[in-house]
Amino acid sequence: MPETLFSEVSPAVCIIDVRSPGEFTEDHIPGARNVPLLDDEERKVTGTLYRVEGNESATRWALGRLNQRLQAFRKQLISQIPENSEPII
């Protein structure tokens, strides 16, 4: 399905995949750019917290990590979007 869905997307569209690098490597939309919210280790910790302590604990931990580096993430994200493109995140 992704092949069909994204085969009709304008070349001016920039697809940003915010999953961890490992998830991106495993599978992604062709042409997508990876700007991860969490690295592989942080993703693993989040998943473990989710299984052991539940969604609220995992979400709180992940948001705490993101809050510490949101400005750097924003700059990295913007740098990956070509001029005159329409990002899909």
Question: Which residue has tokens 């942080």?
Answer: 42
What does the chain come to in residues? 89
Region 27-44: mean pLDDT is 93
The pLDDT, as a whole number, for residue 5 is 61
Angle, helix 55-68 to helix 70-80, in steps of 10 degrees:
80
- Which two tokens mark 72? 């750097």
Average pLDDT for the chain: 87
The predicted model scores a pTM of 0.71
CA end-to-end span of the chain: 18
Is the distance from CB of 15 to CB of 32 less than 8 angstroms?
yes
pLDDT digits (tens, 9 = 90+) for 58-69: 999 999 998 888
- Least trusted range by pLDDT, from 19-23, 50-54, 79-83: 79-83
The topology under which CATH files domain 2-88 is: Oxidized Rhodanese; domain 1 (3.40.250)
